[in-house]
Chain A
Amino acid sequence: ETGVTQTPRHLVMGMTNKKSLKCEQHLGHNAMYWYKQSAKKPLELMFVYSLEERVENNSVPSRFSPECPNSSHLFLHLHTLQPEDSALYLCASSQGASNSGANVLTFGAGSRLTVL
């Protein structure tokens, strides 16, 4: 079992729904990340949390709202999404400061989101 667990693995939602993605890491890492993976595109960094504080927000629309209640848990709250938001959402964690280029990211298996 991977050290980073994501739930749910699959989610289908309508554009007016509110749902949340959950990520939990069991590695004792202190930085967590949300990435979006769309077909034929590079992975897009959405949010970075270091020591439970958000340190990166790559111009992500406000319909995506992250929450990091502690260093082991990360949520992505979804509201009023668009069909183009359908993608695989990957959570990752790393040890060490988020401003260290040497970080090795440990990824979860992802949550496959489909917006109808």
Chain B
Amino acid sequence: AQKVTQAQTEISVVEKEDVTLDCVYETRDTTYYLFWYKQPPSGELVFLIRRNSFDEQNEISGRYSWNFQKSTSSFNFTITASQVVDSAVYFCALSEAPPNTGNQFYFGTGTSLTVIP
């Protein structure tokens, strides 16, 4: 079963619109971490945020905000007043650290965001 689901394959918005990227995860661990990464056309994945499973407080960083809800196993990402530079593929990821097996990272399939000027 897929651990991280990003149901939105592609999204297009007009500049200055708000957009929310959905992420649903699945885990049986009580301790886990959730991440968002941005992959611009240049290729490298850029780290945006990490949350641990014990901190459900929503976070805002400039135009970016994240909504973590354990009740629905979701970790959604909202970009406010989108800009052309936000065009990229965004990946949600789950990291588990079960004892004696080493770190396990699971990435979603990504959401390709296009911001139209």
Contact A101 B96, CB 8 Å, known A43-B107, A48-B103: yes
- Which residues of chain B are within 8 angstroms of A104 by Cβ–Cβ distance? 35, 47, 50
Residue B76 lies at the interface, judged by CB distance under 8 Å to chain A:
no
Q: Would A2 and B103 be within 8 Å (CB), given that A101-B97, A104-B35 are in contact?
A: no
Shortest C-beta distance, A21 to chain B (Å), equals 13
A99 touches B44 (CB 8 A): no
B63-105: CB near A (< 8 Å → 1, else 0) gives 0000000000000000000000000000100011100111111
What residue of chain B has the Cβ atom nearest to residue A42's Cβ?
Answer: B107
Contact mask B15-37 → A, CB, 8 Å, 1/0?
00000000000000001110101
CB of B47 within 8 A of CB of A42, answer no
The residues of B that contact A2 with a CB separation of less than 8 Å are 44
- By size class, the interface of chain B is 20 to 34
Docked-complex contact B105 and A99, CB < 8 angstroms = no
In contact, B32 and A90 (Cβ under 8 angstroms): no
A112 to B2 CA separation, bound complex (whole angstroms): 25
Residues of B whose CB lies within 8 Å of any CB of A are 2, 4, 9, 31-33, 35, 37, 42-47, 50, 52, 91, 95-97, 100-110
- The distance in angstroms between the C-alpha atoms of A102 and B104, with both chains bound, is 10
User: How many residues belonging to A are interface residues under a CB distance threshold of 8 Å?
Assistant: 30
Given A41-B109, A42-B108, the answer on whether A105 and B47 have CB atoms closer than 8 Å is yes
- Among residues of A, the one whose C-beta sits closest to the C-beta of B94 is A101
The CA of A102 and the CA of B33, in the complex, are separated in Å by 6
